[in-house]
Amino acid sequence: MSSQSSIPWFDEFIGVAYRYFDLRMNVVPLFSDQKESLNLWRDVIHWWVDPSIKIRFVETGNDYWFIMGADSQKQDTNISMYKLLPKSEHYERFKKGHGGEAYLRFGVYTKLTLENSKKDTLCDCGHEASDHDENDGDACLYNTCDCKKFSSFQVNLLKRKKTITDIKFLDEENVKDDVLAWNCLNINKFSKTESS
């Protein structure tokens, strides 16, 4: 694994969604631009050797590091991905329910406005788009609701997928025993903390 440390780290994606789809849980790095995500899949992920794909979750307080890497058939253009993210309900559900394997897919994240939503699209306030008033700055019409502006999103899962069978949840204390996670924190956490 001596080559691991020379693989560049990439964190220019929005976050990670966890979804049930095709019976297995899906781990879905999110992008705002579909073309960008398709290019990254074509240039990098497509060449990953499935049994070598690793994802690591390193928890730190209310956040966790998402860390993912693999051996590639095109080692010279390979990258590893990471992102520091807040723990979420979906994350906790994945942690409990993944059963040792998951599908890796990319997703395209789109923010929805009242104009491009369907009537029954749920707003972050929990009420449907049709309950929001276009003539009043998109405010929610429920008397008891203080939502002033309709806000929602959708995630489109791209079709291509890879199977992940190497999934580990770690603490910062035992991260030293894991080459991928240790490398990630070394380069992306400890070095940045020192320089800032």
The distance of closest approach from Cβ of residue 123 to Zn ion in the complex, given in angstroms and rounded to an integer, is 3
The distance of closest approach from Cβ of residue 135 to Zn ion in the complex, given in angstroms and rounded to an integer, is 15
63 vs 124 by CB, closer to Zn ion: 124
21 vs 153 by CB, closer to Zn ion: 153
Name the token pair of 80: 């590893």
142 vs 169 by CB, closer to Zn ion: 142
User: For binding to Zn ion (CB under 5 A), which residues are involved?
Assistant: 123, 125, 127, 140, 142, 145, 147
C-alpha distances in angstroms, 7 versus 33, 91, 124, 183? 24, 26, 39, 10
The distance of closest approach from Cβ of residue 107 to Zn ion in the complex, given in angstroms and rounded to an integer, is 23
Give all strands of the β-sheet with 63-69 in edge-to-edge order: 9-10, 80-86, 63-69, 54-60, 166-171
150 vs 182 by CB, closer to Zn ion: 150
The distance of closest approach from Cβ of residue 119 to Zn ion in the complex, given in angstroms and rounded to an integer, is 14
Question: Quick check: 38 and 29 in contact, CB under 8 A?
Answer: no
Residues linked to residue 63 through DSSP beta bridges, in sequence order: 60, 86
